[in-house]
Amino acid sequence: MESAESLRNKCAACFRQFNRMEHLVDHMRVSYHSVHEPTCGVCKKHCRSFESLREHLIGPLPKQECKSVFNIRGCRFCLAILDSPYALRIHQDRCQLSGVNYGILARLANIGLRDSLTIDNGYSRGSQVVALACKMVGGGSDGSLDLCARVCLIDENENIIFHTYVKPQIPVTNYRYESTGIRPEYLRDAMPLRQVQKRIQDFLCNGEAMWKIRSPKGGRARILVGHGLDHDLDRLQVEYPAIMIRDTAKYPPLMKTSKLSNSLKYLTQAYLGYDIQSGIQDPYEDCVATMRLYLRMRNQYHRREDYPLAADPQNRNNFASWRQNELERMSPEEMLAISRSDYYCWCLDSA
| DSSP annotation string for 111-130 | ---EE-----TT-SSS--EE
Does the structure show a pLDDT above 60 at 57? yes
The pLDDT tens digits for 264-302 are: 999 999 999 999 988 888 999 999 999 999 999 999 999
Ranking 5-14, 101-110, 245-254 by mean pLDDT, the lowest is: 101-110
The pLDDT tens digits for 236-260 are: 999 999 999 999 999 999 999 888 9
Phi, psi of 174 (to 5 degrees): -150, 110
What pLDDT, on the 0 to 100 scale, is given for residue 98? 86
Strands 145-155 and 129-139: what pairing?
Answer: antiparallel
The pLDDT tens digits for 26-36 are: 999 999 999 99
Mean pLDDT of the chain: 90
Domains and CATH numbers, the chain: 9-96+304-344 (no CATH), 101-299 (3.30.420.10)
Q: If you average pLDDT over residues 37-51, what whole number do you get?
A: 96
User: Using CA atoms, how far apart are residues 152 and 158, in angstroms rounded to an integer?
Assistant: 11
DSSP 316: T
pLDDT-derived band at 117 (thresholds 50, 70, 90) equals confident
Q: Tell me the one-letter amino acid at 260.
A: L
Does the structure show a pLDDT above 70 at 2? no
The pLDDT tens digits for 192-236 are: 999 999 999 999 999 888 888 887 877 889 999 999 999 999 999
Cβ partners under 8 Å of residue 193, min gap 6: 148, 166, 167, 168, 169, 236, 237
